Chain A
């Protein structure tokens, strides 16, 4: 059964494990993945908890469709209170870990306490063991997985682990699985490191029974055809997310040299075609027909002969435009290093880009810079800083604190130049010309973020009729520059993505980068055939709303206010210098932004301070939280 997976509570201080069932009521309200993560976090992390202390809970949750043949049912959510933002920490990863966790009999692992010495968890067909990991400490994030497979004597063991960055509690260390998959954002690797937990190894052979196997196969064949017949699937299958660079750079929507420009000239060597020289084919996550990940062996340079996977658009920005460099080889090298160290590629690029601008403006103390040459485009400095951040050396140690901590160390005059929201850096995109995307990064529950409410298709000039069909509201504009109507698009996407993350399917196979992808209607049918749970599409979107609202409650309980739903000051003060006429010379208008924010709160049933009203909480069944049902 897709619903009989269990939850394991691991107390690393006591060295104990307790296994419990998940009440059906919670499944119906939160499904799994990010939904259950929100519930478990709200119920098991007291407000004011030190994110790097033993009381923080690290929650790993497979989605409710992970491990089933639902399209790209590969995903797993990892959550904790974030050491980067002090608010909700939550990151999602693909690969093969989530499905394997379910085959091992579990949907959720809640890890609390702190082990005295390094340990790893061995999760296998219904059992969880805490094992010694002294011999693994210090290992990189790929080596660690290989060693565990050897030690456990099974090449099919799947591992989620940290590299040295997590061990050193770099506040944006990620959790890694496979060659490049990562629960990248909000510092979940640092939380793992703080618990002395090097890895979670899983392997299982327990079947997940389907409610209607033949019906599921019939419908899924149709659905895969629908997904694969789109032009977008073809592009993703050939280039992966690298194609986005060509679009955003030619338009002028890419963050360049920290925030000094929105376009980078002479950047052919960053365009997706530049990957032709390196790629040896594509790899896919579990159950995915789209296969968006490049496989490569570096033919030259610092890591000559090494095998790697990726990179994503994120790394093109982080180690390309952001630091003023235009070299695909450089991107691949940096990608390689962050993956081995277990660092969030996006946060790393942002922090280095910021340091370069500070250096240019004379705001970095000379003794911190030392012999580093922080001029734009110097990839030697970038590579060295990645290493220094992971090992917490010199300037790297300061940057390892993330935006908030580093600003504190470097002084308030540096704050203006850091492009973050709630303490988390933004993607290397420039949202000044696009109010909908600006509202998205300002309001996402985990800080500046493009994966939790971005109406990316707002950029496509889709006819209003198509927009109405998707968003279910008439009168939406096909112009990405206007402010009107955008809050609803953000709210709708927020619900859809929360749903997708709770199901454990891939966002790339939902309405995100293409309008012709599955949404609640399709998922409702898949859920019925696979799990037997009946939901209307509206009910599923309401689950998305419930999940985001509970995440909101978590943040409010930690002291977040309306003031945290804001943009970096530069969005309001510095107009975009480059790009197509439609995007050049654009800033976000403060008053209209605030009006969007009001409307965004209204649409949720929150007051003007962004607090859900009692009626809203009652409507969503959140008025009694924390209920501690499990």
Chain B
């Protein structure tokens, strides 16, 4: 299953991902309603992209009183049925990552939908801080990087 993988060390803080995400989903340059957002510690130069983690056992789904939140097994994403959603924001408060947004005008929530399997943010992220990859490959990459550091330490 592919996941939206984040390598925050590569992030330059440009926020182009926020922009193109909002253009795709809202038809507007509207970072406040982007499904991915960059959290910054500007005074330290640290930038961290945050988006829905498509939890297996999703807290947002668990708290929904009308069972509007389900899983799309094909893309491995968590979805909200907006016909059922009553706009109570229980899910928004329940999300431990704070990545569920609420559209005041529409009275509905929004979250990353992986652009139905072709994430726009990934296409525009020049540094490849964002990738759309098989979950096990993401970890394998990290494992190898850690092993390389270990190897070097041992050699020294």
Contact = CB atoms under 8 A, between A and B. Distances in A.
A542 B32 CA distance: 35
A309 B47 CA distance: 14
Nearest to B16: A287
B26 interface: yes
Contacts of A287: 14-16, 19
Interface in B14-37: 14-16, 19-20, 22-24, 26-33
B44 interface: yes
Contacts of A68: 19, 29
A179 B45 contact: yes
B46 to A, nearest CB: 9
Looking at chain A, what size class is its interface with the partner chain?
35 or more
B29 A309 contact: no
A213 interface: yes
Contacts of A309: 45
Given A210-B28, A285-B14, A289-B14, A179 B20 contact: no
A217 B120 contact: yes
A285 B13 CA distance: 8
B129 to A, nearest CB: 11
A221 interface: yes
A208 B32 CA distance: 11
B43 A146 contact: yes
Interface stretch (A25-33, A276-284, A417-425, A472-480): A276-284
Interface string A206-219: 01111001001100
Looking at chain B, what size class is its interface with the partner chain?
20 to 34
A286 B42 CA distance: 13
Contact of A289 (B42, B43, B120, B126): B126
A452 interface: no
B39 to A, nearest CB: 8
Contacts of A213: 23-24, 27-28
Interface in A207-255: 207-210, 213, 216-217, 220-221, 224, 228, 237
Contacts, number: 94
Contacts of A289: 14, 16, 124, 126
B43 A307 contact: yes
B9 interface: yes
A142 interface: yes
Contacts of A280: 45
A67 interface: yes
A205 interface: yes
B127 interface: yes
A289 B126 CA distance: 6
Given A217-B120, A285-B14, A286-B14, A291 B127 contact: yes
A126 B23 CA distance: 22
Contacts of B33: 205, 207
B43 A179 contact: yes
Given A69-B124, A284-B14, 8 more contacts: A68-B19, A69-B29, A103-B31, A205-B32, A207-B28, A217-B120, A224-B126, A307-B45
Interface of B: 9, 12-16, 19-20, 22-24, 26-33, 40, 42-45, 47, 120, 123-124, 126-127
Interface of A: 67-69, 96, 103, 142, 146, 155-156, 178-179, 204-205, 207-210, 213, 216-217, 220-221, 224, 228, 237, 280-291, 295, 307, 309
16 contacts: A68-B19, A142-B43, A179-B42, A205-B33, A207-B33, A210-B23, A213-B24, A221-B123, A282-B12, A283-B13, A283-B45, A283-B47, A284-B13, A287-B19, A289-B16, A307-B43
